[in-house]
């Protein structure tokens, strides 16, 4: 396994993590996430290679914004009406840490807790 497995257009397609979408929405709006919901999200993320987990979270965030037609520069609309964009990004980026799942952040094999590429998601 390695990072080449995760790039879009490759045979390996990253799922949009349907189980993590409610976690992101609930956390972002300040609600408590039920244990079963968090467990579903963590299980879906655990099924993805540690090389690809951040990419999967990035894809989930991207698809959630696109589904709600959020345009660049718009804040507080669409999927996260009560949440600042920075909070959405940081919340998504920290799901791996909440689930206590390792990730690989670069080709050297270095690991981390938080997905930096998700936290740096452009305002799209």
Instruction: Output the domain CATH number for residue 61.
Output: 1.10.110.10
- The reported pLDDT for the residue numbered 20 is 94
Answer whether residue 13 is part of any domain: no
Total of domains in the chain: 1
pLDDT in tens, 44-67: 999 988 888 888 898 888 888 887
Which range marks the domain in which residue 101 is found? 19-120
Residue 32 pLDDT class (50, 70, 90 cuts): very high
**Among the listed residues 46, 68, 57, the one whose alpha carbon sits nearest the alpha carbon of residue 14:** 57
Q: List the single range of 17-26, 46-55, 77-86, 104-113 with lowest mean pLDDT.
A: 104-113
Measured CA to CA in angstroms, residue 82 lies from 30, 38, 60, 63 at distances of 9, 21, 19, 18
């Amino acid at each position: 396994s390695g990072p080449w497995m995760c790039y879009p257009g490759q045979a390996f397609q990253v799922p949009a993590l349907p189980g993590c979408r409610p976690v992101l929405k609930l956390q972002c709006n300040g609600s408590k996430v039920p244990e079963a919901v968090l467990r579903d999200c963590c299980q879906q993320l655990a099924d993805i290679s540690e090389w690809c987990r951040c990419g999967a979270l990035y894809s989930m965030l991207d698809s959630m914004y696109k589904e709600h037609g959020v345009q660049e520069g718009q804040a507080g609309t669409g999927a996260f009406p009560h949440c600042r964009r920075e909070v959405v990004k940081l919340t998504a980026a920290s799901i791996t840490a909440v689930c206590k799942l390792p990730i690989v952040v670069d080709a050297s094999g270095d690991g981390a807790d938080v997905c930096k590429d998700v936290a740096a998601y452009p305002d799209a």
